[in-house]
Structures are given as structure tokens and as C-alpha cells.
Structure 1
Amino acid sequence: MTQPETIDDNRTETDVLVIGGGTGGYSTALRAAALGLKVVLAERDKVGGTCLHRGCIPSKAMLHAAELVDGIAEARERWGVKATLDSVDWPALVATRDDIVGRNHRGVVGHLTHAGVDVVYGDAELTGPRSARVTGYGEVVARRGIVLATGSRPRVLPGLTPDGHRVVTSDDALFAPALPKSVLVLGGGAIGVEYASFHRSMGADVILVEAADRIVPLEDAEVSRHLTRGLRKRGIDVLAGARLLDAAVLDEEVVATVRTARGETRTVRAERLLVAVGRAPVTDGLGLAAAGLTTDDRGHVAPADWSRLETSVPGIHVVGDLLPPPSLGLAHASFAEGMLVAEVLAGLPSRAVDYTAVPRVTYSSPQTAAVGLTEADARNAGHDVTVGTMPLTAVAKGMVHGQGGMVKVVAERDGRVLGVHLVGPHVSEMIAESQLIVGWEAEPADVAAHLHAHPTLSEAVGEVFLTLAGRGLHQQS
């Protein structure tokens, strides 16, 4: 594959210009290069983006450490293993996390280099529908198209300016110099729940405040109920249907006033206030107007054609967190979007990403994992549904783990599976099967024909499908 052509000192021509090197951007670049296209990837910081450097990877590394801490307590309290936790060596923990991030970063850089992608570092600003100016590099003209993949940043609340110490966001919560003894988490979506779970494992007193009437409000109501029960069992004070009225940031603590779902007013004191109320697309300085583009009222750049992820300006495509719903703002969805756009730019047939078949995971303790429609969404869409559920403690391996949890399957009556919803230990590793079930439009009888290993947590999934297929073994049909 040949490299982009330098026309003069300040102008380069290429087939594809990708702006943003996060999961959506670098997957676009890698796939496009593999298809023989010349690619320039412009990144203002580090390739890998938020997911690799501030989100998915470092947070899951820390959550694994938290799982080890929880295991010591379980060993002592449940299994008679007289283990104790002397302390958490925060610098050592951070060093391991940073090593994992660093190795992943070097891996991504190596993949891009091997693929022949020309990675340039600087701010990119569109100058037209096929061109952009990159600081420190010059103008880039893209013959086939431009891909916008500039990602997102944490949303903040008016009057609460993050300082990285007392008031933090998910981008900097894990990078503080020490662990707090108490945390008030605002936001009960996946990010807020994960951070609440981590800090509780590390010994902090945690209050989790969610304005909606339940945490993880986009998931099935049964998932929310079981997750709430699991978090409260661990000592996390979960306040759903609650709102922050005000907060004062003092030298040693944050003092907040919260109105609960019952209308009561509570004063909450915590060493740290963690704001996890969602993420906002990053488009500042991108020069959208110069290319004839606008954003919606939440800052997203909407495609005119979802099967090509192409905007109203032909040749400009968008992937990742810049996309509005039904895109999910998840790294693995961004991979699929990037590969789709690369194939479109290479002239291959395109088919829209099936977002209903994209798995959703919350890596707390307990974990949640789901794919497809919730029961409420399925009924609202007009489906005649049948539902099967089973607690994980109804199978032997669930009793071994002792963390509760459940399996819930939503299916059309006498038809295909619409959604699968899991809560419990390690369910993030169990959802892949259900992704195929939903994505391939399998029926319960199709799944019931296949065996699940015994004893495993996943056999609870098999048991629910057996029951829905009228062949219940340990459940009544």
C-alpha cells in the first residue's frame, strides 16, 4: 500500500482522512488501510482515545483489583480462609494499571504503523467537504471521504466545576493521588455504578444518587432491581429518584444537599464528589460549519444514511460518540461503525449496524450484561411477549459464588428471542452467547437443543430457554 501523497510542504492528498484516534477512528483507519486505501489519521492527544487512556481499560483494570480485594473479604467471612487485608498500595496499583494501558497503547500504535496509516498529531479543523487543516502538519485533502471520530467528554453540572480533587469526573476519578474515605456519586448509569462499586470495594463509604426512578434506567427493570439489591447488600447507599439541590466545596470535604424520592432533604458529606451524569460529543474547533454540517440539540452529528453512517454532506461520515441514538456510545459499537465506514469508502456493500444486537455491560459487583430489547421496550413496540426468568442461586455454581443475580429472557410468543438480561458474577463473559441468539433471531427451542456445561453459571441461561421451549427441567414449564 502506498502512502498519502505530499503535494507541497503544506498540502497532502490521501484517500481517507480520519479525525480522531479513539476506538471508532483507529478501527476505521485499520480497516480502510487493509482494503488498500491511503489513510491519514489525525489525533490531538494519543491514539486509543478515552476508552484506552481514561475509560474502559484503566477502569476495568482497577475494577479487577477491587474484585481481588472483595475476594479477600469473601474468603474470610464465607469460606473460613483466615485472610486479612493489610492495606492497598495505591502507587503499586496505579503502576500496574498504567503498565496495562501503556502496553495496549503501544499495541495500537504498532498496528497502525504496520498497516501503513499515516498518524499525525494535532488539532484538525474542516476547511471544506473534503479537506481539513491539521496544526503542525498542514492541509489534508481526502479524495474519498472524511471520517469524524472526535469522541466525547464528561458532562458537567452548572456550578460544579471539576477540580480533579474534591469534584471529579469519570475522566480523572481514578487518577487522583490517593483513595478517598467517602464518595458521593452523581449518576446511576453504567459509569456511576462502576465507580461506586470500585470505591466501596476499596473501603470508602459510598452514596449513589440517580435522578431517574431506578439506577441503570436504560436497562430492564428487573436488572435495576437486582443490581440495586446487590449494591445495597455491599453497603452502598443507593438513592434513586433523588436530585442534588446544591453543593459546597470546602477544603476537606464536599457538603451536598439531596432531595430523596420521598421529598425528604438530606445533607451529605463526602471527601469526593464524582459527577457521572453522561458524556457530551466533542466538536469544538472541528469547523463543522465550513463543511456545511450542524449538530443536533445535544451536540451530536447525525447521519443522513444510517446504512453508510454518512452525513448530509456526501463523503463525510461519522462514528463513535458523535453519533446520536440508536448508537450506544460503546467502544465495541464504535469498532463496528468504523469498519462499516471503511468498507463504504472502499466501495463495498454496506449494511447498517444492528444496535439491538450490541451487548451492554456494567462492570460493577455484581455485574450486569444485556443484549436486545427490555421487556418494556418489547411490549411498547407491539410484540406479544413471553418472559422467562431464573435466579442464579437456583443453579449450583450460583450458590458457590453466593452473589445472587438472575437471568431474564424476553421472547415473542411462539417466535424469536428479543432480549436477554443478566445480573451476577462474571455475566460480562456470559453475554456473547446471547448476542448470537438475538443477532441471529433464534427461537427458544433453537437454544434449548444445545447443552450448557454443568456446573456453570451459564447453565441458568440454558435452563430458561428449556423452560420457554416447553421442556423445563429444574423449572416448571
Structure 2
Amino acid sequence: MTTTTFDVVVLGGGSGGYATALRASQLGLSVALVEKDRLGGTCLHRGCIPTKALLHAAEVADAAREATAFGVRATLDGIDLPGVHAYQDAVVGRLYQGLQGLVKSAGVVLVEGAGRLAEALPEGGGVVEVAGDRYQGRHVVLATGSFARTLPGLEIGGRVITSDEALRLPELPERAVVIGGSVIGVELASVWRSFGVEVTVVEALPTLVPLEDPALSRQLERAFRKRGIAFRTGIRTTGVEQGADGATVTLEDGSSLDADVVLVAVGRAPRTADLGFAEAGVRLDRGWVVTDERLATGVPGIYAVGDLVPGLQLAHRGFAHGIFVAEEIAGLAPQPVRDLTIPRVTYCEPELASVGLTEPQAREQYGADAVEVADYNLGGNGRSQILRTTGSVKLVRVKDGPVVGIHMIGSRMGEQVGEAALIVGWDAHPEDVAALIHAHPTQNEALGEAALVLAGKPLHAHA
């Protein structure tokens, strides 16, 4: 058994872990990064990147199917699923190779193997053990990520799959049931429908994407009906029976749905079991690591980042956490990461993009009469008309105050969320945004138009 000492030991090489390692190395700290699988974690290999590659392939399929609407003669001859997977793998492979090069050039020591927190040290920090070797850090950062949840009594296997298996299906099903109507569920439902699969989404809460602003949920449901994606909301799944020819999903009202594949997409849980966290004194709450706003666990010198910490489960949140913790360790006193200013995108068709408070949240926080809203319909946006997309941009502001929430839906609207995050993050007033010039014709104009409405000088919208 050997013991090697570093300034920082990071347990987990996903978004939050490798961001911590790279930034800490930039700041002159010695870093060991422990990863049991492949550098890049869930996002790169089983989440964000391969899923979005699938969604782009779905967009291409839709474009071919709908080409005549644009005066282009084209036909869709079918989906070559092995070809789609090859495209997916090529995208992931290029990014993986680049990330390996970044970590190596930064001088980070990459430790390949399953690690666990062996102990916390009295003087601060701790020891991570990997295959009998010990890596001691003056600071330890926990970044072990998350895994796909399932429902009590529902076993994953056979025709019942999670998003991990959905990305590598050997062939397309004819019928699919998706249990869960939040981000992962609606994204994969969108992909499968574009590929010609008959899809039904089951969501226990009253609406699809229930954490989004109600205006976005309503519009997504209308869009899904138009696309032929069925859904049942406000109803729970009570069981799944598998047979030789398919699976049957039973619902709490006694009805049932038949499918070739059942996708369980009910969220992700923190990966903290059997990793030595609690034994080292790290406090857990239902599996989540409890931290303060500076991501400190309460055990001196031990921090947690990314999906381990309650809140939004997003790769870019993990990146931000990693940068923050590295700078905190280096004594730079960075500003804490606020979930409120983190942009969120759901990459189904149409896309949802949002940041900040929903309208109900804003009215609850500031008072029902202290909030103003502008909802700009994309029907007045030239670029959206060219793309043949419908949707809206909704701004939520405090009266005579800043914009506290932005909620958008429509094809490619995720590309607009960067400016939305700046508006909310910098406490901009609608009058500030209205004074900015947005290029015409772009979908980005829709943000400016919504701001013009709240500033009292609408141009392509009714007051």
C-alpha cells in the first residue's frame, strides 16, 4: 500500500469533478482525479452529449419528412439505428479524446479505479483509497455524480429500461411507454416519435415538465398532441408486466398500456452509497450530501459538487461548482453559485429554455400584485416563421424592478438562453434589455420584443 499526498484529491471524473481538477491545477495546486469509469462521466458518455446527438438525428429525420413544406423534394427511407449510434459515438469520442488531452496537459494525476473516502483527517482533508493505494489530500472534493432512479418494486431489465439502455437500443420499438414526463422522459419521447415510434408518456404530476412555468407546460402538451405523442398526466404507474411479445404498464385507475419497451425516466439519485462518506462524518439527507452555500460539507477540508448536492442536476451546474470549489480552496473567495441564475434547457421538439423564477414562484415570493408578465408569441418573429415553429418568450418582472424569470419554447430556443441568463443574473430591467439592439431576423429578437412589451413600447406585439 502506498500513500501519495496532493493539495486536492477529487473523487469522481464527471462534469463537476474534472472542472474542479482543471481549475485547481490552473491555480498551481497539485491534483489527483479518481475515476472508476471513463473521464467525463454521465454527461459525456450516457447523458447530455449522446442524448443531444440522438435529438439532432431526430431533427434531421423530421426535416426530411417535412421537406416538401419548404419546396424541397426529399424522402425519409427509414432510420439506420447502427448509423445513428456510429454518429453518436463519433461525437462522444472526439470530446472524450479532447478531455483526456486537457487533463493530461494540465498535469492532473488521473487515477483509474473505484475509489472511496477512507477517512477524514483531523487537520482537514482526507484520504481516498483506490485498490489499496491511498491518495491523501489537504482538501477532498466529492464528485461521484448520480444514477438513474427507478420506482419501488419495478425491476430494470428486459423490456424495462432506463435512459442508459435507451441510448443503445439494438432496434427501434414500434410502441414505447415512458414513465416520467420531465426532462429525460420528454426528450427521449421526442426522439422516438421522430424515428416513427408510437409513444405514450405517463406523468404522476398534473402536467408534463411540471417544474417549468405553466405556460411552457401547456404549450409543450399542445405541441406533443400535434406530433402524435400521447400522454397521461396526474396518474401513477402501479406495475409493469413483461412477456415474450411485450410489456404491459398498469395505471392506478385500472387502465393499461401495451408497449415493446418501457422507459423509466423518473429522475436521478445521488451516488453516495458504500463510498465511506457517512463513516467519515459527511452528513447525508436521503442520499444527498448536505453542504452550505460554499459547498463545504462541515467536515474540514471536504467539499461536494454537482449532482451530489440538492438542486438542479445539470452538467453546467457541475462545471460551475467545480470552478467555485477550486477557487475557494485557493483562497480567491469566489461568489457562490446560485441555482436561480442557472439556465435550464429541455431539448425535445419544441425546445424549452428557462432561467429564474416561474410566474407562480414570483407571485408567491413578491406578492400577487407586485409582478408583471409579458408573453411574446413567436408568430410575430420572422425567423420563427421561416423555421415554421410556434411558441413564445415569457418575461417575469417585479413591478418597477428587474426581470426575475424568462421562459421560452420553440424550435432551437435553447440557443437564446445565454442572454436570458445574463438578464436574470445581472438583475436587468426590461428597459435595459429593450435598449439593446437584437439582429433581424433572428429568434433572439423575441427576447428584445418581450422586453419592449414590458417597457411599454411594443413593436411587433399588442400591448
TM-score (norm 2): 0.96
The answer to whether residue 136 in structure 2 is matched with residue 148 in structure 1 is: no
Find the partner of 1:344 among 317, 328, 344. Answer: 328
Q: What SS does the corresponding residue of 2:262 show, helix, strand or coil? A: strand
The answer to whether residue 117 in structure 2 is matched with residue 126 in structure 1 is: yes
Offset from partner CA, 1:14-49 (integer Å, 9 cap, x none)? 100000000000000000000000000111111100
Q: What SS does the corresponding residue of 2:375 show, helix, strand or coil? A: strand
Q: What SS does the corresponding residue of 2:202 show, helix, strand or coil? A: strand
Matched to 2:23, the amino acid is R
- Aligned 8 A contact 2:395 2:450 in 1: yes
CA shift for structure 1 position 265: 3.7
Structure 2 partner of 1:300 = 288
In structure 1, runs of 5+ residues without a counterpart are: 1-8
Alpha carbons of structure 1 residues 97 and 137: separation in structure 2 relative to 1, 3 Å: farther
* CA–CA distance in structure 2, aligned partners of residues 452 and 396 of structure 1: 13
Deviating 4+ runs (over 3 angstroms): none
Q: What SS does the corresponding residue of 2:23 show, helix, strand or coil? A: helix
Structure 2 partner of 1:3 = none
Find the partner of 2:300 among 314, 324, 331. Answer: 314
CA shift for structure 1 position 188: 0.6
Count of residue pairs the alignment pairs up? 457
Matched to 1:201, the amino acid is S
Structure 2 partner of 1:291 = 280
Matched to 2:24, the amino acid is A
Offset from partner CA, 1:156-194 (integer Å, 9 cap, x none)? 11232111x411101221112111111100001111000
Structure 2 partner of 1:5 = none
* CA–CA distance in structure 1, aligned partners of residues 416 and 254 of structure 2: 41
Q: What SS does the corresponding residue of 2:127 show, helix, strand or coil? A: strand
Structure 1 partner of 2:417 = 431
* CA–CA distance in structure 1, aligned partners of residues 9 and 245 of structure 2: 48
* CA–CA distance in structure 1, aligned partners of residues 278 and 377 of structure 2: 53
- Aligned 8 A contact 2:9 2:128 in 1: no
* CA–CA distance in structure 2, aligned partners of residues 372 and 278 of structure 1: 21
The answer to whether residue 234 in structure 2 is matched with residue 282 in structure 1 is: no
1:168-317 map, 5 Å = 168-259=161-252, 264-297=253-286, 299-303=287-291, 305-306=292-293, 308-317=294-303
* CA–CA distance in structure 2, aligned partners of residues 475 and 417 of structure 1: 19
Offset from partner CA, 1:42-62 (integer Å, 9 cap, x none)? 111111000000000000001
CA shift for structure 1 position 137: 5.8
Structure 2 partner of 1:62 = 54
Offset from partner CA, 1:200-220 (integer Å, 9 cap, x none)? 000000001110000111110
* CA–CA distance in structure 2, aligned partners of residues 270 and 58 of structure 1: 24
Find the partner of 1:135 among 130, 133, 150. Answer: 130
- Aligned 8 A contact 1:230 1:403 in 2: no
Structure 2 partner of 1:111 = 102
Q: What SS does the corresponding residue of 1:184 show, helix, strand or coil? A: strand
In structure 2, runs of 5+ residues without a counterpart are: none
The answer to whether residue 173 in structure 2 is matched with residue 161 in structure 1 is: no
- Aligned 8 A contact 2:126 2:301 in 1: no
Offset from partner CA, 1:57-82 (integer Å, 9 cap, x none)? 00000100000000112213x23433
Deviates most, 122-131 or 280-289: 122-131
Identical amino acids, percent of aligned pairs:
48
CA shift for structure 1 position 289: 2.8
Structure 2 partner of 1:450 = 436
- Aligned 8 A contact 1:215 1:240 in 2: yes
- Aligned 8 A contact 1:393 1:402 in 2: no
CA shift for structure 1 position 195: 0.5
* CA–CA distance in structure 2, aligned partners of residues 296 and 453 of structure 1: 48
Matched to 1:471, the amino acid is K
Offset from partner CA, 1:98-150 (integer Å, 9 cap, x none)? 1111111111111010000000011212222233343336011112x100000
Coordinate RMSD, CA, aligned: 1.3
* CA–CA distance in structure 2, aligned partners of residues 411 and 74 of structure 1: 38
Q: What SS does the corresponding residue of 1:127 show, helix, strand or coil? A: strand
CA shift for structure 1 position 452: 1.5
Structure 1 partner of 2:459 = 473
- Aligned 8 A contact 2:115 2:131 in 1: no
Structure 1 partner of 2:24 = 32
Find the partner of 2:314 among 327, 330, 349. Answer: 330
* CA–CA distance in structure 2, aligned partners of residues 446 and 421 of structure 1: 18
* CA–CA distance in structure 2, aligned partners of residues 189 and 428 of structure 1: 16
The answer to whether residue 97 in structure 2 is matched with residue 96 in structure 1 is: no
- Aligned 8 A contact 1:122 1:134 in 2: no
Matched to 1:386, the amino acid is E
CA shift for structure 1 position 382: 2.0
- Aligned 8 A contact 2:351 2:414 in 1: yes
Q: What SS does the corresponding residue of 2:457 show, helix, strand or coil? A: coil
Deviates most, 466-475 or 32-41: 466-475
Matched to 1:14, the amino acid is F
* CA–CA distance in structure 1, aligned partners of residues 366 and 459 of structure 2: 31
Matched to 1:185, the amino acid is V
* CA–CA distance in structure 2, aligned partners of residues 293 and 133 of structure 1: 14
* CA–CA distance in structure 2, aligned partners of residues 270 and 393 of structure 1: 37
TM-score (norm 1): 0.94
- Aligned 8 A contact 1:42 1:134 in 2: no
Offset from partner CA, 1:328-383 (integer Å, 9 cap, x none)? 11000110000000011111113210211110000000000001100000011124
Find the partner of 1:461 among 447, 454, 458. Answer: 447
Find the partner of 1:71 among 63, 80, 102. Answer: 63
* CA–CA distance in structure 1, aligned partners of residues 248 and 333 of structure 2: 56
Q: What SS does the corresponding residue of 1:293 show, helix, strand or coil? A: coil
* CA–CA distance in structure 2, aligned partners of residues 137 and 39 of structure 1: 19
